[in-house]
Amino acid sequence: MFSRRTSRELGQNALAAALEETRARGAAVLDLTVSNPTTAQIPYDEAAITAALADPQALVYAPAPLGIRSARESAAAAASLAGVPVDPARVVLTASTSEAYAFLMKLLCDPGDDVLVPAPSYPLFELLAAFESVRLVPYRLAYDGAWHVDLDSARRAKGPRTRAVFVVSPNNPTGSFLKRDELTGLASLGLPIVSDEVFADYAFDDAPTTRARTALEETRALVFALGGLSKQAALPQMKLAWTCVGGPAAQANEALARLELLGDSFLSAGTPVQVALPALLASRARATDAIRARTRQNLAALRAALGKGSAATLLTVEGGWVATLRVPRTQGEEAWAIDLVTRDFVYVHPGHFFGFEDEAFLVLSLLTPPDAFAEGAARLVRRVG
């Protein structure tokens, strides 16, 4: 009766069951996977946000397939802060980056085609691709003291039905930014590049000259650079994202014409949030500055907890909201995570959630409120030590 593309195992995994059982016993679990800024004690410019949503223009429905002009101009200005000017005419608004991915897979792929995706990376790709009947083919992010794109792996992964290469910069969960030589290497594959840059504003250091500011620096390939309110203004509930189209004019114009057809078919971006976008972006500094301070504070606390001689090792992280620990392979990473939640009341994600190619890794959110993070990190270090 139902499609194969929506067929998924609906039962709980062992870690989720352990978390539920621990909470049912009345234990106060320190959740080190927090990713929702609106519930993570992040301060907002509440007056400016609520005023932006009270604009009377939001009462008028004037559908625009690519998004209303004022919102596209505002998104283009925000994207241009990366250092590459963006023409508002090359901006497409969607209700989320997830929807942007869906649009781009519809644009670039027929059912049965494939796209290259980094591994490890965010697990949502698997579902989004399945819903579009697109196959994911991984290419490696390799670690040798720092993360880098294994370009040979990407070349080997490309096949006759490969239609695009996805990048995430900084990546979730590795926190690694795309480097300029990596961008050049991926462009040489002759494929459109879809670059998720939603965490790009959250770097832990000054950008070195080797780092690509945005995939829009690459002008020889068709490029789609994604941003949105969810991370760049810490407003996931507002449901608005943007795709900036770069590359050769003929290809970009054809892409925009086809994206306009898709946009006209769905018209999913809400008018109130589009009208509010200029004011929402203007008000974001309070929240984004607080997140930068929070993630740096938690990263410092994690390094202090690890100290010298710890059995856990922090992998190099350049930006984003998460950190990855390598822990001893004396047991599997899911067993580590279950031990932590049942014995220490600390909840973390095992690396296999994100497609790490070996064991054993644990992934922690640096967005967690600082007191809970520091205590949870201390308990984790004691457990693996």
186 alpha-carbon distance from chain centroid: 19
Domain boundaries, the chain: 12-43+285-384, 55-282
Statement: residue 106 has pLDDT above 80: yes
Whether the predicted model's global pTM rises above the 0.85 cut: yes
Determine if residue 112 is left, alpha or beta; phi over 0 gives left, psi from -120 to 50 gives alpha, anything else beta: left
Domain 12-43+285-384, architecture per CATH: Alpha-Beta Complex (3.90)
Distance CA 225, CA 64 (A): 20
Query: What's the pLDDT band for 4 if we cut at 50, 70, 90?
Result: confident
Contact 341, 15 (CB under 8 A): yes
Distance CA 130, CA 121 (A): 16
Q: Which residue, chain included where needed, has tokens 């409120």?
A: 369
pLDDT (0 to 100) of residue 9? 72
Which CATH number fits the domain 55-282, given the four candidates 3.10.580.10, 3.20.20.450, 3.40.640.10, 3.90.110.10? 3.40.640.10
Statement: residue 207 has pLDDT above 80: no
pLDDT (0 to 100) of residue 6? 86
pLDDT (0 to 100) of residue 308? 81
22, 171, 341, 373 from 378: Cα distances, Å: 19, 26, 14, 8
Statement: residue 214 has pLDDT above 80: yes
Distance CA 175, CA 323 (A): 7
Statement: residue 8 has pLDDT above 80: no
136, 165, 213, 249, 250 from 221: Cα distances, Å: 21, 11, 16, 10, 11
